[in-house]
Amino acid sequence: MIQKVSEETQGEDGRWQFVLEERTFLCLTDQNNNRMRIMTPITEVENLSEEELKHALSANFHTALDVKYAISNKILWSVFIHPLKELTENQIIDAISQVFYAAETFGTIYSSTNLIFPGNTQNNELDEVEPKNTKVLKLQKG
């Protein structure tokens, strides 16, 4: 599945690394525990301001949708975590797209899609953030 959308893929069952639009992704699966992660690194934690961390946490609730901003091993990641067996091919393609966009928009609009959940009306901290020119990602669904 990953080979269909990536520019290059390497790895073995349960662990793959692939490149898409010059961004490196990891896909980890655990069939015994029915889990899957698709993720891409964004930056080292030491490079983050307190404001960026607050925006990321807010985005996890309002704009990051099926992906989350998460910290592991001193790296900020864009990550999709889901039960493995229940995923369809189209959901995997959508997950890769959301991981990509959440990473690309970190520092600007902090979003994985165009959909934004309401509820942040009292604290519009992202309203003043100008989006940067992001790449258009075209993935073909099954």
Does the pTM of the predicted model rise above 0.85? no
Question: Is residue 110 domain-resident?
Answer: no
* Domain region containing 93: 2-104
pLDDT tens, position by position, 13-46 = 899 999 988 999 999 999 999 999 999 999 999 9
Distance CA(92)–CA(62), nearest Å, equals: 21
Q: How many domains does the chain have?
A: 1
Question: Is residue 131 domain-resident?
Answer: no
Please report, for the domain that includes residue 14, its CATH number. Answer: 3.30.1460.10
pLDDT tens, position by position, 81-124 = 999 999 998 999 999 999 999 999 999 999 998 766 666 544 45
